[in-house]
Amino acid sequence: MIDHIKSVLLTILILTSFVQSGILLYTSPSYEQVLTPDDYSYPHKIVKESFEKQGVHEIAAPSQILIHQNGKHQQIPGNLEKSQIRNLLSNVHLTELTRPQKVTPSNKDWNNLMAKKDGIELRFNNNLSPEIMQAFFTTDLPKPDLRSVSRVWIYQNAAGDQSARFISDETGKTVQYKATLESFADLIKVADKLNAPFLSATLPKKNSGAIPRPLYLPNDPLAVQQLRYPLKKITINDLKLALFPDPNLIEKKLTLDRATMYTDTTRTLQHNTAKNLITYNRPDSTTESEFSLTDQLDLIQQFMRRHEGWTGNFLLDDIENDPDQVTPFFRFRLYTNGLPVFWDGGEKITPATLRLSAVGKGVTSYDRSLFYPALQPDKKATKVSYLPDKKELLAELDRKGISLEKKVTSIYPGYRTDIKDQAVTFIPTWIIQLEDGTRNYVEKRSPGR
Amino acid sequence: MKFFKWLRLFNSVQWKMVLIYISLLLIAIQLIGVYFFQELEDFYVGDLEVRLKRQADLLISPGGMAKELAKPQLNSAEKRKRLNKLLQNIYILDKGSGQIVQLLDQDGVVLSTTAENKSKIGQKNPRVTSVLRGVNTNDTQFRRGPNNQPLILYSKAITENDQVIGAIYIEAPMKKTYDTIRTINNKLLQISLFSLVGTAILGIILARTITNPVKEITEQASEMALGDFHRKVAVKSNDEIGQLAAAFNHLAQHLREALSQNEEEKGKLESVLTNMNDGVIATDDRGCVIVINQRAGNILGRTIAKGDPITQALPLSEPLPFPLVEERQAYLELNREDEDEPTVVKITFTPIRRSEETVGLITVLQDVTEENKLDRQRKEFVANVSHELRTPLTTIKSYLEALDEGGAMEDPELAKRFLRVTRQESERMTRLIHDLLQLSRLDAQKVRFNRQPVAIEEILSDAVERFSISAEQKNIDISFRFNDHLPKIYGDRDQLDQVLDNLISNAVKYTPEERSITVSARRRSDGFVVVAVSDRGIGIPQKDLALIFERFYRVDKARSRNMGGTGLGLAIAREIIEAHGGSIDIDSRYGWGTTVHFTLPPYVPEVIR
């Protein structure tokens, strides 16, 4: 018996020896995973090809650019795909603006400005915050003492002195800057180079003292391309890979009837499967932000660029202030062929709109549709369409009972959409922006003209 | 086979001890090694980790990367430039040690790096996920780099208002650290190895000091098993081994003595067996001979070897059943060609029992030929005595009946003759009874000899004189011759007279008339006196000579009886002479005469003393 116990003890001793060797081996640092450069990866892109925004100024760019030259008016579509326009915007963006001062120009002065001085008028769709101007120009721009900015008019007098007027149509106030825009004369020639149509200014009758806001309409029917784009869809998986730092940690947390929620505990991604919309949220506890709108746009720009979120040329359309949130929501609109796209349907978020907000160190919310029109149109389906001329348009407005003086804030060409067979047709239309915020469309009256 | 040879080698106590010793030492070294290596590694790696933490803290510190990262910037490109510049400026500690420091944003994308290769900028670093998620404020990982060198990866979250806004990631080579650890470990291993070898040698020596005496004792035990009890184990110490050796020597001595006694006993037993008058044969339970003494062979007249079946050794009429349950006896008659009488052997079979089981057989062979012969002689003697007594009684009875009934009394002459015959027969009976009584007393050694130194010539002369008349009556010349220097003898005169009377009377009886009888005496060279009574009588046939001294033996029974002989004279003479220390024998030639010689020892005074 004792011999057996001894044998067992000896065996245990030898086994212990092996176990200790194992422990020694096991407790050594583990280097199973070899660190290779492949560990690093570029942030996931949700589309193969996106629209490249070269800076925040290309997000905060004006929706319309008007060139006033020798008393003539031409509108340049904000088509950033065209190098001349991008170059123009880049130069304008770099305009040095100093010595702001509030001015109250007389009507004569305004008329003189329109009729006799060469200038570049930048029109923004909505009355945007003066800070947005800092985003478009530079942060060094002394913020204009205005509640909102509707237009920026850069002009040059006969002596060659340049000035810029920041106009708030909302308040009827103007702040003038001393401007320095390199190659001003060359820049305004871009309109001719692009064969931009000549427009005639129609000045609705306003109350006295109000800053004149002419409507620039063509005397001849306006030729605009009707385009058809394949409608593409972003997969939810691509978005998960793009929006979460480590996709391995994502859990499918909540599944409702028409929505699925994904989270990694620090951020959520809600997928509305019925409407093919997503809402991305990254909660931020920052209560007071020292970040300017420009900073926020910069964050948005970085965020969108990182995952190729700009599926088209989106421009800042509006800023929504939410009392429950420190920072506002930025609404962006799709511009195709330099013209704004208005998607059919009553949804706030459509393939033509994006909504983002940023606070602290990044984007906190991101709403978008999973569908998007491709960057390249179907060339076979592309055709030129003619929008009604000034006369026809005004007659149509008259017929519709829309008073230019009281209701219309602006009229500009744009697109509305028509979806068929997984493709979307961008139909040219006059956009009549009304003061109550609604829009009206006036399309061609006589096809083939 | 070689394997088993090696296995047997390692099955020895010496190698077992060495193996156990080395195993224990190995375990101890491993135990120390495990904890030492672990602690050493923990210390150095921990130290490196602390340095990296310090580096990261310095980079994040107020005024460092955290502030810059949190600072709003209009232009992200410019911001990156500034971050990069700041990183290069602040990165002071361990610069040139091969470390790579990265600054990452909250999505894990590299914003800036100290590495020469800036290709990582803009890419996601997957190893900072845990700190970016806020699971840990810092994280340490160990990996191997592309060139297989160990790396420590340290990441630390950059927070603002308790929110993660980025991270610092440091990738540091651990080669130097592990080189240091390895150097120390190698030293320890070398020391351990030397210790192991040293202690293994000591273990072998220690084991040998224990096992060598045991081996010696084993060898001695083997020698003892072969029968050599005279060798001794050297007692070199007083410890347990020494005590074992001493105990072994003591045991050997006791065994030697015990075996010696055993041998002695065995010798005695063999001696007893050899010298036994009886033959002894022992067999095993199957009846094969295992022990036999010489006497058994002699009795059976044949050579019996050990292992022979006893049934072959003993020509029994009935087969012997094995195993034998109880004692049995049998008689065997062996006819030998060179002997007149058959040898009668009494065989006693006794089973050997051990714990109620018969394990063998002891066979005792007794030569009972002489006993049978004596018994027969006794029976013959009784028959002779009866016959000798009945014959005169019958005669007396018939004569007395004739006297009583036949009217012989009326004839005085006849009656007288009848009475004379009756008296003669009764006298013969008296003599017979007298002789028988004397023989009986001689046999029982109840006769008290009145031995005295006497001159033999005087006794002989008187005896011759006593028979001179009866000789003359038969005209027989009886003479006496003797040497002058006859020594005296030491004897009972009466008894010697009786011997001489018997011998001379027989000579007179059986010597025809006009023949001669000579009584002579001479001194033999050894001092004994030889007396011879020679006659020129009828002699005795040669075949009767050997039996002539037997009791009641007569050559011619009727003639002897008629002459008044009892048939006991010579037997009595022999008993008396032999009682005096002499001997008697007879020479005779039938028809020529007979000479009876007897010797008597001389009187030697010293002998008496």
- pLDDT tens-place string over residues A325-352: 778 899 999 999 889 999 987 778 899 9
Compute the distance between CA of residue A278 and CA of residue A212 in angstroms, rounded to an integer: 42
Q: Locate tokens 């072959």: which residue? A: B312
Give me the pLDDT at residue A372, please.
93
Flag if B74 and A306 touch (Cβ within 8 Å).
no
Nearest CA in chain B to A56: B75
Closest by CA position to B113, among listed B94, B133, B137, B87: B87
As a whole number of angstroms, the distance between CA B564 and CA B395 comes to 14
pLDDT tens across A288-305, in order?
666 788 888 888 988 898
Considering the domain boundaries, does residue B258 fall inside one?
Answer: no
Considering only CB atoms, which chain B residues are within 8 Å of A14?
23
Lowest-confidence segment of A179-188, A304-313, A362-371, B310-319 by average pLDDT: B310-319
Which of B103, B130, B144, B177 is the best substitution to test chain A (most A C-beta atoms within 10 A)?
Answer: B144
User: If you average pLDDT over residues B255-266, what whole number do you get?
Assistant: 89
A371 touching chain B per CB within 8 A? no
Task: Choose the mutation target among A13, A39, A40 for the interface with B, i.e. most B CBs under 10 Å.
Answer: A40
Q: Partners of B530 in the beta sheet?
A: B522, B599
The answer to whether residues B569 and B419 touch, using CB atoms and an 8 Å cutoff, is no
Q: Which of B410, B442, B474 is the last residue in one of the domains?
A: B442
**Do B129 and A245 count as a contact with CB atoms less than 8 A apart?**
yes
- The alpha-carbon gap from B146 to the nearest alpha carbon of chain A, in Å, equals 5
The number of distinct structural domains making up chain B is 4
pLDDT-derived band at B223 (thresholds 50, 70, 90) equals confident
Beta pairing class for B516-523 and B477-482: parallel
Phi, psi of A37 (to 5 degrees): -60, -20
Q: Which of B69, B151, B161 minimises the CB distance to A285?
A: B161
CATH number at residue B463: 3.30.565.10
Residue B199 belongs to a domain: no
User: What is the nearest CA distance from B35 to chain A, expressed in angstroms?
Assistant: 8
* Maximum CA extent, chain B: 207
- The pLDDT of residue B204 is above 50: yes
Minimal C-alpha gap between B24 and chain A (Å)? 7
The band of A31, judged by pLDDT with boundaries at 50, 70 and 90, is low
The answer to whether the CB atoms of A245 and B124 lie below 8 A apart is: yes
- Regarding whether B426 and B454 lie in a shared domain, the answer is no
Residue-level pLDDT at B514: 86
Q: Are strands A353-359 and A329-336 parallel, antiparallel or unpaired?
A: antiparallel
The rounded Cα A312 to chain-centroid distance in angstroms is: 9
Q: Is the CB of residue A25 less than 8 Å away from at least one CB of chain B?
A: no
Is B408 found in the same domain as B345?
A: no
CA distance B178 to chain A (A): 11
- pLDDT, residue A369, reads 94
Nearest-CA distance B208 → chain A (Å): 21
3-state SS, one letter per residue, for B243-282? HHHHHHHHHHHHHHHHHHHHHHHHHHHHHHHHHCCCEEEE
Q: Peptide bond before A377: cis, by omega within 30 degrees of 0?
A: no
What whole-number percentage of chain B has pLDDT above 90? 9
Q: Residue B527: what pLDDT?
A: 87
| Three-state SS at B467 | helix
- The dihedrals phi and psi of A206, each to the nearest 5 degrees, come to -115, 170
Are B411 and B322 part of one and the same domain? no
Same domain, B390 and B350: no
Nearest-by-Cβ selection for A298 from B73, B153, B160: B73
Q: Which residues lie below 8 Å from residue A294, measured CB to CB, with a gap of 6+?
A: A56, A131, A132, A134, A135, A139, B74
* One-letter amino acid for residue B485 of the chain: H
Check if the beta carbon of residue B438 is closer than 8 Å to that of residue B569.
no
Q: Distance between CA atoms of B359 and B363, rounded to whole angstroms?
A: 14
Q: Does residue A298 sit at the B interface (CB-CB below 8 Å)?
A: yes
Verify that B96 and B172 share a domain, yes or no.
yes
Tell whether A43 lies on the interface with B, counting CB pairs under 8 A.
yes
Q: C-alpha distances in angstroms, A156 versus A69, A97, A188, A190?
A: 11, 13, 11, 16
Could B126 and A39 be called an inter-chain contact, meaning their C-beta atoms sit closer than 8 Å?
Answer: yes
Chain A residues inside the 8 Å CB shell of B143: 31, 33-35
Q: Which residue is closest to B106 within chain A, CA to CA?
A: A361
pLDDT in the model for residue A36: 65
pLDDT higher than 90, residue B11: no
CB contact under 8 A, B30 and A290: no
Looking at the fold, whether B473 and B429 belong to one and the same domain comes out as: no
With respect to residue B220, please indicate whether it lies within any of the assigned structural domains.
Answer: no
Distance to chain A for B25, nearest Cα, Å: 10
B28/B112 same-domain check: yes
pLDDT tens readout for residues B436-483: 888 888 888 877 888 888 988 889 999 999 898 888 888 999 999 888
Chain B contact for A247, CB < 8 A?
no
Average pLDDT for residues B109-118, to the nearest whole number? 84
**A265 in contact with B at a CB cutoff of 8 Å?**
yes
Task: Give Cα B535 distance to the centre of its chain.
Answer: 69
> Considering only CA atoms, which of A226, A442, A447, A424 is closest in space to residue A344?
A424
Take residue B595 and report the two structure tokens written for it. 């000479």
Q: Which residues contact B510 (CB under 8 A, 6 or more apart)?
A: B535, B537, B538, B594
Cβ–Cβ of A20/B24 closer than 8 Å?
A: no
Amino acid at B562: N
- Closest-CA residue to B74 (of A195, A408, A343, A55): A55
CB contacts of A31 in chain B (<8 Å) are 142-144, 150
Residue with tokens 């309109």: A191
Q: Answer whether residue A153 shows pLDDT above 90.
A: yes
In a domain, B249, yes or no: no
Cα A186 from Cα B144, distance rounded (Å): 59
pLDDT in tens, B374-418: 888 788 888 888 888 888 888 888 888 888 887 767 778 888 888
Q: For residues A163 and A175, what is the distance between their CA atoms, to the nearest angstrom?
A: 10
CB contact under 8 A, B30 and A34: no
- A429: Cβ–Cβ under 8 A, 6 or more apart, which residues? A342, A387, A413, A414, A415, A416, A441, A442, A443
Q: Are residues B499 and B571 in the same domain?
A: yes
Could you tell me if A285 lies within 8 Å of chain B, comparing CB atoms? yes
Q: Tell me if B466 is assigned to some domain.
A: yes
Task: List the domain range (segments joined by +) for residue B281.
Answer: 276-367
Mean pLDDT (whole number) for B588-609: 82
Domain annotation covers residue B603: yes
pLDDT tier, B73 (very low <50, low <70, confident <90, very high otherwise): low
Span A154-188, pLDDT tens digits: 998 888 889 999 999 888 889 999 998 888 888 88
And the tokens for A334? Answer: 């799709």
Residues of A in contact with B162 (CB under 8 A): 285
Q: Which of B27, B122, B124 sits opposite A20 (nearest CB)?
A: B27
CB B128 within 8 A of CB B106: no
B15: which chain A residues are within 8 Å (Cβ-Cβ)?
Answer: none
pLDDT (0 to 100) of residue B7: 65
- How far is the alpha carbon of A263 from chain B, nearest alpha carbon, in Å? 12
A264 to chain B, any CB pair closer than 8 A? The answer is: yes
3-state secondary structure of A239: helix
Q: How many CB atoms lie within 10 A of CB A286?
A: 17
Can you give the CATH number for the domain in which B104 is found? 3.30.450.20
Quote the CA–CA distance of B378 and B362 in Å, as a whole number.
32
In eight-state DSSP terms, residue B61 is S
- Residue A227 has what pLDDT? 92
| CA–CA dist A333, A339 (Å, integer) | 10
Record: contact B107-A285, CB cut-off 8 A: no
| Structure token digits, residue A184 | 């001003």
Query: How large is the average pLDDT for residues A354-369?
Result: 88
Average pLDDT of span B351-374:
86
Between CA A2 and CA B232 the distance in angstroms is: 32
Q: How far apart, in whole angstroms, are the C-alpha atoms of residue B570 and residue B555?
A: 12
Q: Which of B40, B48, B107 to mutate to test the interface with A (most CBs of A within 10 A)?
A: B107
Q: Which residues of chain A are within 8 Å of residue B48 when distances are taken between CB atoms?
A: none
On whether any CB of chain B is under 8 Å from the CB of A301, the answer is: yes
CB contact under 8 A, A24 and B37: yes
**Are B347 and B395 members of one domain?**
no
Q: Tell me the H-state helices in A205-341.
A: 236-243, 293-306
Listed residues B154, B180, B206: the one ending a domain: B180
**pLDDT tens, B534-575?**
999 888 988 888 888 888 888 877 777 677 677 888 889 999
Taking 50 as the threshold, does the pLDDT of residue A448 lie above it? no
Q: Judge whether B303 lies within some domain.
A: yes
Q: H/E/C letters for each residue in B170-227?
A: EEEECHHHHHHHHHHHHHHHHHHHHHHHHHHHHHHHHHHHHHHHHHHHHHHHHHHHCC
Predicted confidence at residue B609, as pLDDT, reads 43
Q: Which residues pair with A103 in a beta bridge?
A: A174
Q: Is residue B245 part of a domain?
A: no
Distance, CA of B171 to CA of B190 (rounded, Å): 33
What letter represents residue B283's amino acid? Answer: T
Chain B's closest residue to A137, CA to CA, is B74
Point out the residue among A37, A56, A298 whose CB comes nearest to the CB of B146. Answer: A37
Same domain assignment for residues B387 and B359: no
Answer whether residue B608 shows pLDDT above 50.
no
The residues with which A282 forms a beta bridge, in sequence order, are: none
Instruction: Collect all residues of chain A within an 8 Å Cβ-Cβ radius of residue B75.
Output: 55-56, 139, 298
Confidence class for position B1, pLDDT limits 50, 70, 90? low
Cβ contact A122:A155 at 8 Å: no
When scoring A3, A17, A26, A249 by the number of chain B Cβ atoms within 10 A, the one with the most, hence best to mutate, is: A17
Average the pLDDT over B17-32 and give the result: 79
Report the alpha-carbon distance of residue A241 to residue A264 in Å, rounded.
Answer: 12
Among B70, B133, B165, the residue with its CB nearest the CB of A266 is: B133
Task: Please give the pLDDT value at position B228.
Answer: 82
Same-domain check for residues B378 and B357: no
Cβ-in-10-Å burial (0-12, 13-18, 19+) of B332 comes to middle
**How far does B233 lie from chain A, in Å, by closest CA?**
28
Q: With a cut of 50, say whether residue A314 has pLDDT above it.
A: yes
- Residue B256 pLDDT > 80: yes
Q: B142 and A43: CB-CB below 8 Å?
A: no
Give A57's contacts in chain B (Cβ within 8 Å): none
Percent of chain A at pLDDT exceeding 90:
26
**DSSP-assigned beta bridge partners for residue A168:** A173
Measured between CB atoms, does A360 come within 8 Å of chain B? yes
**Which residue in B has a C-alpha nearest to residue A266's C-alpha?**
B133
Q: Out of A14, A20, A264, whose CB is closest to B133? A: A264
* Confidence (pLDDT) at A205: 67
Average pLDDT, stretch B289-295? 87
Which of B125 and A254 is assigned the larger pLDDT?
A: B125
* A28 contact residues in B (CB cutoff 8 A): 41
Please check whether residue A148 is in contact with residue A131, taking contact to mean a CB–CB distance below 8 angstroms: no
Q: Length of chain B, please?
A: 609
Please state, in angstroms and rounded to a whole number, the distance separating the CA atoms of residues A43 and B585.
154
Q: Does one domain contain both B358 and B460?
A: no
3-state class of A67 per DSSP? strand
φ/ψ of A6, rounded to 5, equals -60, -45
What does pLDDT average to over chain B? 83
Out of B442, B476, B496, pick the residue that ends a domain: B442
